[in-house]
Structure 1
Amino acid sequence: MLRTERHARILEHVAAHGSVSVEELSAILAVSGATVRRDLQHLDAVNLLRRTHGGASVGNIGLETPMQYRSERRRPEKLAIARAAAALVPAEAVVGLTGGSTATEIARILAERGPVTIVTNAVNIAAELVLHKDVTLVVIGGTARKESYELVGPIAEKTLADYYTDVTFLGVDGISAAHGCTTHDQLEAATDRAFTDRSNHTIVVADHSKIGKATLARICPLSGIGHLVTDADAPKDELARIAEAGVAVTVV
């Protein structure tokens, strides 16, 4: 297991349970207690959790795992979702991309396929695509969020009002029939909503861990999206409820 994946699993476990012991993490990760203690020391040093006697608890970052620790989690599922999602994009389309590890994979696929116009608020996606010859890149300005590498807020929303996309890929922290699409941050939710408002067709890309889940800030109801692409481990009963609400569901 990669170090970044270990860190992501530690942060997810702490977020889900509030606290955890070294012994628990050692068993979950199948590594030594010494390795776990080094990992916890590093994560405490960068303020992602709080080191405690014998373990760790939720730290200053709250419940959202930062982007750099999410990119290696469930990577095969995210790649499969990205391939299926990119196949839905017509040739030479104008594509909106919010942040997230799955959206980043979609951007890479579309750039290689090209030509394509990408409108994004994700600085990591912009950095990867800026020199790509087959990509016309539009970067939306705003206030940077270190957790997601996205530019959000009133400036982003005002800029998006001047653009229109054929397809927007929306990354979410939760999607459910009861609560629609949600994310951890209120400013990010408003910026994501601006993307959906200016798109002909919005596709949510989310691995199974996001299905049936609701987080702090609502982006939009299910009526605001047209399609969900997820993986085969997503709960079938929740997918059925989402489909009943009129959303096309693709499972890979």
Structure 2
Amino acid sequence: MLRTERHARILEHVAARGAADVNELCALLDVSGATVRRDLHHLHGLNLLRRTHGGAVLGSVGLEVPVQHRTERRRAEKRAIATAAADLVPDNAVVGMTGGTTVTEIARVLAERGPVTIVTNAVNIAAELIPHKDVTLVVIGGNARTASYELVGPMAEKTLADYHTDMTFLGVDGVSAEHGCTTHDQLEAATDRAFAASGSRTVVVADHSKIGKVTFAKICPLSDIHHLVTDDAAPEQQLERIVSAGVPVTTA
């Protein structure tokens, strides 16, 4: 297992439970105690959790796992979602894209498929797309978020108000029938709302770990969403409630 994947699994585990001890993490990761202690020391140094005697606890409420620690997590599911989501895009479309590892996978699929215009606030997505001659790339400016590699805030929202896209792909940290789409950061939530408002259709892409989950800042209610694409491990009860709320769901 790669170090970055171990870190992502540790952060997700601690975020879900509030705390974890070394023995518990050794069993989860199938690694030695020395390896876990080194990982916890590193994550403590990044202020992502707080090291304790024998384990770790959350460093803050609503822990957000940084994008660089999420890249390898559920990669197969994200690629399947990306393939299904890309099939929704018409030829020569103008596509809005927020940040997120699943949205990044969609960008890769579209870049290889043919002519497309992509409007994004994610600098990592922009960096990948620049070399592709069949991609017309528009990058939205704003304040940089180190956790998500996104540019957010009033400048981003003002720019998006002047654009119109055929479709927006929205990456979220949680989506549920009761609370709609949510994320960890309020500035990011506001910029995501601007992305949704600029598109004729808004498609949420989220792997099964995000379905039924609620995080700090509300992006929009389900009534603002036109489609959800997830993977086949998503909880059926939540998907049924989302469909009942009027949102079509595709499982990849």
**Range class of TM-score, shorter chain:** over 0.9
Counterpart of 1:44?
A: 44
Give the TM-score normalised by structure 1: 0.98
**Aligned pairs (5 A) from 1:5-154:** 5-59=5-59, 62-154=62-154
Per-residue CA deviation, residues 89-140 of structure 1 (Å, 9 max, x unaligned), is: 0011000000000000100110111210000000000111112111100000
Question: How much does 1:43 deviate?
Answer: 1.1
**Where does the alignment leave 5 or more consecutive residues of structure 2 unmatched?**
none
Tell me the percent identity.
Answer: 75
Question: How much does 1:59 deviate?
Answer: 2.1
Number of residue-to-residue matches in the alignment: 252
* Distance change >3 Å, CA 25–CA 251, structure 1 → 2: same
Within 2, Cα distance between the matches of 1:68 and 1:61? 20
* Contact 2:97–2:168 under 8 Å retained in 1: yes
Per-residue CA deviation, residues 139-163 of structure 1 (Å, 9 max, x unaligned), is: 0000011111000000000000011
* Contact 1:13–1:20 under 8 Å retained in 2: yes
SS state at 2:24 partner: helix
Within 1, Cα distance between the matches of 2:203 and 2:124? 20
* Contact 1:49–1:61 under 8 Å retained in 2: no
Question: How much does 1:244 deviate?
Answer: 1.0
* Distance change >3 Å, CA 110–CA 46, structure 1 → 2: same
Q: Which amino acid aligns with 1:125?
A: I
Give the TM-score normalised by structure 2: 0.98
* Contact 1:99–1:150 under 8 Å retained in 2: yes
1:211 equivalent to 2:211? Answer yes
**Where does the alignment leave 5 or more consecutive residues of structure 1 unmatched?**
none
Q: Which amino acid aligns with 1:242?
A: I
SS state at 1:104 partner: helix
SS state at 2:95 partner: strand
Per-residue CA deviation, residues 158-181 of structure 1 (Å, 9 max, x unaligned), is: 000011000100000111111111
* Contact 2:121–2:152 under 8 Å retained in 1: yes
Per-residue CA deviation, residues 52-103 of structure 1 (Å, 9 max, x unaligned), is: 1111111259510000001111111001000100111001100000000000
Q: CA RMSD in A?
A: 1.0
SS state at 2:203 partner: strand
* Contact 2:229–2:249 under 8 Å retained in 1: yes
**Aligned pairs (5 A) from 1:162-177:** 162-177=162-177
* Contact 2:203–2:227 under 8 Å retained in 1: yes
SS state at 1:117 partner: strand
Within 1, Cα distance between the matches of 2:3 and 2:19? 20
Within 2, Cα distance between the matches of 1:175 and 1:83? 20
Within 2, Cα distance between the matches of 1:51 and 1:251? 38
Within 2, Cα distance between the matches of 1:64 and 1:199? 27
